[in-house]
């Protein structure tokens, strides 16, 4: 039996891991620490948590994810997304702990419309992506026994996310406009949680950077359309271009990630995003 420490334990991914622990967690003990219980920007706080719980793995779900607010709160975003990742890496290296760190498709900027591989050049277009990329680099420069998992468009039955926002707005309004010129792949956080547990349960040493999302391709309009369809919500859904919905942070126009490396390395199969959306909605209902 191993102790597994989860930072950001009450967030969307931490809650998703917690929800399947009984089914996939084996005999391992998962410890979920909130930001109030563990300040990942403070190395002394990390050292205290390690001394108290003696984990074999740390899953870093703690992140500053307010993409637009990051443009004006860059110091806070850097502290949580970069400095904290570096702190965890140093502490893990010193204590022989393996680190599983969650990153994002936002480390890529404007790219050709080809599936993004782990080897492609990373040029973020905003503060959020830049701080997440700096966190990745701090980890890779500090230790070897790490898994960095880049994911995209995360949603679940937990916390605030696009799925739950669309359901709420669909029940409140008769018409809604959603952008159709930003393309990626929705990812069910519970599927990602299962993959993380697969890494741990197989005692994998295939360290490095991996891309994980559900299969398929969608625009935000497609995602919203499928949400309303599966929830039997009648609404006049309009497709608009990004320039009609300006935001402080510029989003990647194309961020569909290749899953070839993760599937070949770990021998896993990945659900199509529409199937996983159906699984999530059943739990919500």
Q: Is 128 one of the annotated active-site residues of the chain?
A: yes
Q: Are 63 and 8 in contact (CB under 8 A)?
A: yes
3-state secondary structure of 109: coil
Mutual orientation of helices 84-95 and 127-142 as an angle, nearest 10°?
Answer: 20
Written as one string, the DSSP assignment of 194-225 is HHHHHHHHTT----EEEE---BS-EEHHHHHH
For residue 115, give the nearest of 209, 219, 215 by alpha carbon.
215
Looking at 64, 128, 155, 212, which residue is catalytic? 128
Given a contact cutoff of 8 angstroms between Cβ atoms, the answer to whether 273 and 214 are in contact is yes
**Phi and psi for 227 in degrees, rounded to 5?**
-60, -50
Contacts of 149 (CB under 8 A, 6+ apart): 100, 101, 102, 103, 192, 195, 196, 209, 210, 211, 212
How many CB atoms within 10 Å of residue 141? 9
CB 198 within 8 A of CB 23: no
Catalytic positions: 128
């Amino acid at each position: 039996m191993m102790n597994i420490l989860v930072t950001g334990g009450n967030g969307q991914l931490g809650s998703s891991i917690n929800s399947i622990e009984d089914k996939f967690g084996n005999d391992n003990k998962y410890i979920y620490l909130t930001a109030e219980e563990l300040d990942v920007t403070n190395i002394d706080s990390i050292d205290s948590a390690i001394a108290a719980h003696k984990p074999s793995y740390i899953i870093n779900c703690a992140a500053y994810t307010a993409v637009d607010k990051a443009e004006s709160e860059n110091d806070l975003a850097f502290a949580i997304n970069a400095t904290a990742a570096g702190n965890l890496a140093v502490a893990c290296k010193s204590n022989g702990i393996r680190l599983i760190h969650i990153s994002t498709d936002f480390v890529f900027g404007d790219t050709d419309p080809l599936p993004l591989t782990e080897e492609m050049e990373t040029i973020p277009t905003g503060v959020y992506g830049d701080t997440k990329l700096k966190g990745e680099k701090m980890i890779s420069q500090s230790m070897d026994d790490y898994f960095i998992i880049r994911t995209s468009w995360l949603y679940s039955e937990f916390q605030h996310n696009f799925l739950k926002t669309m359901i709420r707005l669909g029940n409140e309004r008769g018409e809604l406009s959603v952008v159709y010129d930003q393309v990626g792949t929705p990812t069910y956080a519970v599927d990602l949680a299962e993959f993380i547990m697969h890494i741990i349960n197989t005692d994998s040493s295939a360290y490095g950077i991996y891309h994980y999302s559900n299969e398929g391709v969608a625009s935000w309009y497609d995602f919203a359309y499928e949400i309303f369809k599966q929830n039997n919500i009648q609404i006049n859904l309009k497709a608009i271009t990004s320039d009609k919905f300006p935001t402080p942070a510029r989003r990647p126009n194309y961020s569909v990630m290749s899953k070839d490396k993760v599937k070949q390395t770990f021998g896993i199969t990945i659900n199509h995003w529409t199937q996983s959306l159906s699984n999530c909605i059943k739990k919500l209902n």
